[in-house]
Structure 1
Amino acid sequence: MAERDPDLLVVGGGTAGIVGATSAASAGARVVLVERAATGGECLWTGCVPSKALLAAAAAAAAARGAARYGVDAGPVSVDGARVLEHVRAAVAAVAPVDSPEALGAQGVRVLSGTARLVGRRGRRLVADVDGQRLVAGQVLLATGAAPLLPDVPGLRQPGASRVLTSETLWDGPGLPGELVVLGGGGVGCEVSQALARLGSRVVLVERGERLLSGEDPQAGEAVADALRADGVRVLLGAEAAELRGGHLLLRPSARAGRRAQQVPASVPAPVLLVAAGRAPRSRGVGLEELGVALEQSGAVVVDALGRTTAPGVWAAGDVTGPPFWTHTAGVDASVAALNAVLGLRRRRATTVPRVVFTDPEVAAVGPATAAGQPGTRTVGHDHVDRAVADGRTDGFVRTRVDRRGRLVAVTAVGPRAGEVLAEGALAVDRRLRFASLFSTTHAYPTYADGFWNGAVGAARESLGSPAARRALAVAVGLRRRWLQR
């Protein structure tokens, strides 16, 4: 093998590509990563980092406006949209060096700037063309990510009087939009709607379903909808876009509108339309079909539990394999696939995947979506969590679900710091622990995690209240009493 030929060629320099490349390099493999734009991917440039920086600014504005309820008078709140975006861009610039070609080179990864296409095989190895340069690699890891999806709505691609944005282009302007419509009530749509409303924008959120965050606990979606309305967002449920015309978004009741059909207006002003209607895997133009890499109808690359595609020597991880589109999933799965590729291991992709929507309140969950009344569920409201009472944030809850053997299978947390509260629950679900067994671990007090721990205490007490347990305890207490009376 020529000196320049890698053991692993990684196509794409986002989270999956970077983690996969550095994992393989740390195992001693020769690794080349090809990225056509800038390393760091969606998470760094247009996703996690800028959106959370925007949320931090929005939280500061909301905290200042709400300070009076704690006896603190902050005065009128003024938001400078240009300075907010300066803060966002500064956060991105601070993180960028970690994902830079120089940082990757220091970890043993050679980075090439260009567009890679798989063009054939040479024996068991794979041949790629990178802007005219041929590379022969032992294995290939596809990590080309996904792009915002534009639904098939008339006028959306020729918006005329409206400005159409996605999560990738929201950050391009000199300031924040004064008025906009957000299309989509998933995590991205809810986060951006609340953030921009708190920063002074007039926001209408359009969701075709009956509730926000349709894949999560219904009560969680209701809590977020209430919070958005309190922040000034006009939330339209059961409404779908019919056409973008003349600076307005024309609406109609969706098939799931139900009783909300009469509440759907004919149109809403849309000088700016932010489309947050999902993502589409970037799998075209890489040469996958010629090598026999199977794709789903959505364009997602089909992979097995090890991260292998249907073509020998070709692996894939991250958003290009389809939902869930989570940065942490991309990193874990890419590390698994890369090490399987270069070491011949048979490690399996993650199956326990925590997820967080960073609205206020946050919504964090692991396992199947919970719902009140499901068998095995237990709910602890924040009115029973002392830290939440002290903070005046008793609107949240923690809901857990166990199987017939008392093992934790799902957790939903709603409230401040819900993503952190979820960590212990994710570990318990992943390790198939009995929920009641967690009560014996001492937890710091007072924290928002008390809701989860209080649930474990309740589960333990319930197990001790079974007829068999009560008989055993009665025998033990009686024996101890007689021994002390001797």
Structure 2
Amino acid sequence: MANQVKTDICVIGGGSGGLSVAAGASQMGAKTVLIEGSKMGGDCLNYGCVPSKALIAAAKKASCLKNASDFGITGQAPSVDFPKVMDHVQEVIGSIAPHDSVERFEELGVEVIQGYGRFVSENELEVGDTRVTARRFVIATGSSATAPPIPGLEDAGYLTNETIFENRVQPDHLIVIGGGPIGLEMAQAHARLGSKVTVLEAFKAFGRDDPGLSAVVLKTLREEGVDIREGVKISDVKKDAGGAYQVSLGEDSSAEVLVGSHLLVAAGRKANVEGLNLEAAGVEYSPKGVTVDSRLRSTNKKIYAIGDAAGSYQFTHIAGYHAGIFIRNALFRLPAKVDYSAVPWVTFTDPELANVGLSEDAAREQYGDKIKVLSFPFADIDRARAERQTDGMIKAITTDKGRILGAGIVGPHAGELIHPWGVAITGKLKIGTMASYIAPYPTLGEISKRAAGSYYTPSLFSSRTRAVVKFLSFFG
């Protein structure tokens, strides 16, 4: 006889989105059950955001030592103890893990069931010998790395974001398949720590970002020694007798063969929805995730999906945003809907690449020629000059009436500097608000005010303005 559990909310998945729902629902008085078959904290804590940023931080320290001579400071070149670098990564994970632990959530009143669940009916989920009946379910199972269909790849084996942070042997030559954010972040970090790195991209690196902004990052990575190859066809992957990877490029007899000590695949992700037996619950899905409406409800209106499992933007902050939408719908019966007009995303290379809202191409597709593109370089910001971080720029997109539609920044701390643009888009503000606030000097954030002010440059310094000033001068 199965153990029977009845609850208000059943959350499937203990990643960032699922934990946000579980904590919020329980503290608001809803009886809540959380199902997790692997590590609490999910991909973000254990394999994604947290470990990658910890590794990037270590690599940046090494880079700062290498470049200190630019400031008149000389000393011994950095010596990298790779196992200790990875100890740092694990220590960071460990310091955050208690916040996401089973114990903490049980203290919050959540019943945590450790195991993998599968639906047995439209309102029942089975986890081992436990059967959970819930008024509302939320699928927050996240996503996992996928690999392209390259001959020999599966037999050779490879690293993904789920395994690379467990590697304690510094790569002599790291080959990265995939020129997106994950691949390029890991490429730069390993290169700065002393590894030779080659990135292989089938199409264009940073293919989803503004090409003018992403070009700044690619230039920097190449200057730091990362070999980035675009439009590459990989014909075969295998391991030789010594355990080295042999990656064949091209298809003829003269194909180049790259030899690497480690191979990382960062070429896409798929939603973790298989194995849930969603058919039994009447839930439609695809490899991209659960089919949901604007309120995140599946085809079974009592079952919701959030985060990567909902098939939209694969960002931790979107999972958190979705959690709020679910809470308003399921607990307060408010018809809350998702609004993706101000979605931000950041690639944490150095320089960072940050975006929010519409890109220039997307804005032109939606508004035609009725937009204005404003830009300003970091080279003209005094604080950037003081810190010798002058590469990069900001690009802001507005309507011809000045309403802010989107912004992109490539440069130092771009992920922090993008925040006010997200506020502006969410609040449907016009560019005048950004241009008229008082910015402290000298700060990198001045770049936003300077870019916004350029909206008025053509009219402010026009012949008409000069004529008005000259006319008013006659009155004393």
TM-score normalized with structure 2 length:
0.91
Gaps of 5+ in 1: 254-263
What amino acid maps onto 1:441 in structure 2? Y
Aligned to 1:402: 398
Q: Secondary structure of the residue that 2:385 maps to in structure 1?
A: helix
Q: Secondary structure of the residue that 2:408 maps to in structure 1?
A: strand
**How far apart, CA to CA, are the structure 2 residues paired with 1:269 and 1:311?**
50
Q: Give the superposition deviation at 1:175.
A: 2.7
What amino acid maps onto 2:325 in structure 1? V
Q: Secondary structure of the residue that 1:343 maps to in structure 2?
A: coil
Q: Secondary structure of the residue that 1:310 maps to in structure 2?
A: coil
Q: Secondary structure of the residue that 2:401 maps to in structure 1?
A: coil
Deviations 1:141-189 (A, max 9, x none): 0001101011111111100xxx510000102223332211000010000
1:225-236 pair list within 5 angstroms: 225-236=218-229
Aligned to 1:261: none
Counterpart of 1:422 (choices 415, 418, 440) is 418
CA change 1:470–1:101 in 2 (3 A) is: farther
CA change 1:372–1:282 in 2 (3 A) is: closer
1:156-195 pair list within 5 angstroms: 156-159=153-156, 163-195=157-189
What amino acid maps onto 1:223 in structure 2? V
**How far apart, CA to CA, are the structure 1 residues paired with 2:188 and 2:22?**
36
Deviations 1:175-209 (A, max 9, x none): 33221100001000010000000001111001112
Q: Is the 8 A contact 1:24 1:339 kept in 2?
A: no
Aligned to 1:200: 194
Q: Is the 8 A contact 2:23 2:105 kept in 1?
A: yes
TM-score normalized with structure 1 length:
0.90
Aligned to 2:232: 239
Q: Give the superposition deviation at 1:299.
A: 3.9
Aligned to 1:212: 205
Q: Is the 8 A contact 2:4 2:130 kept in 1?
A: no
Q: Give the superposition deviation at 1:433.
A: 1.1
Q: Secondary structure of the residue that 1:89 maps to in structure 2?
A: helix
CA change 1:397–1:205 in 2 (3 A) is: same
1:296-375 pair list within 5 angstroms: 296=286, 298-351=287-340, 352-370=342-360, 375=371
**How far apart, CA to CA, are the structure 1 residues paired with 2:330 and 2:362?**
43
Q: Give the superposition deviation at 1:468.
A: 8.6
Aligned to 2:46: 45
Q: What is the aligned length?
A: 461
Q: Secondary structure of the residue that 1:447 maps to in structure 2?
A: coil
Q: Give the superposition deviation at 1:346.
A: 1.2
What amino acid maps onto 2:429 in structure 1? L
**How far apart, CA to CA, are the structure 2 residues paired with 1:299 and 1:396?**
34
Q: Is the 8 A contact 1:332 1:350 kept in 2?
A: no
Aligned to 2:271: 281
Percent identity over the alignment? 34
**How far apart, CA to CA, are the structure 1 residues paired with 2:466 and 2:315?**
46
Q: Is the 8 A contact 1:183 1:274 kept in 2?
A: yes
Comparing 192-201 and 461-470, the one that deviates more: 461-470
Q: Give the superposition deviation at 1:27.
A: 2.3
Q: Is the 8 A contact 1:23 1:339 kept in 2?
A: no
**How far apart, CA to CA, are the structure 2 residues paired with 1:481 and 1:27?**
68
Over 6 Å off, 4+ runs? 371-374, 466-471
Q: Give the superposition deviation at 1:74.
A: 2.3
Please state if 1:21 is matched with 2:22: yes
Aligned to 2:378: 382
CA change 1:396–1:341 in 2 (3 A) is: same
What amino acid maps onto 1:25 in structure 2? S
**How far apart, CA to CA, are the structure 1 residues paired with 2:255 and 2:57?**
33
Please state if 1:433 is matched with 2:429: yes
Deviations 1:417-453 (A, max 9, x none): 0001100011112222111222221112212111111
Q: Is the 8 A contact 2:12 2:18 kept in 1?
A: yes
Aligned to 2:447: 451
Gaps of 5+ in 2: 240-244, 365-370
Q: Give the superposition deviation at 1:245.
A: 2.3
Counterpart of 1:252 (choices 247, 250, 257) is 250
Aligned to 2:367: none
**How far apart, CA to CA, are the structure 2 residues paired with 1:279 and 1:461?**
44
Q: CA RMSD in A?
A: 2.4
Q: Give the superposition deviation at 1:414.
A: 0.5
What amino acid maps onto 1:144 in structure 2? T
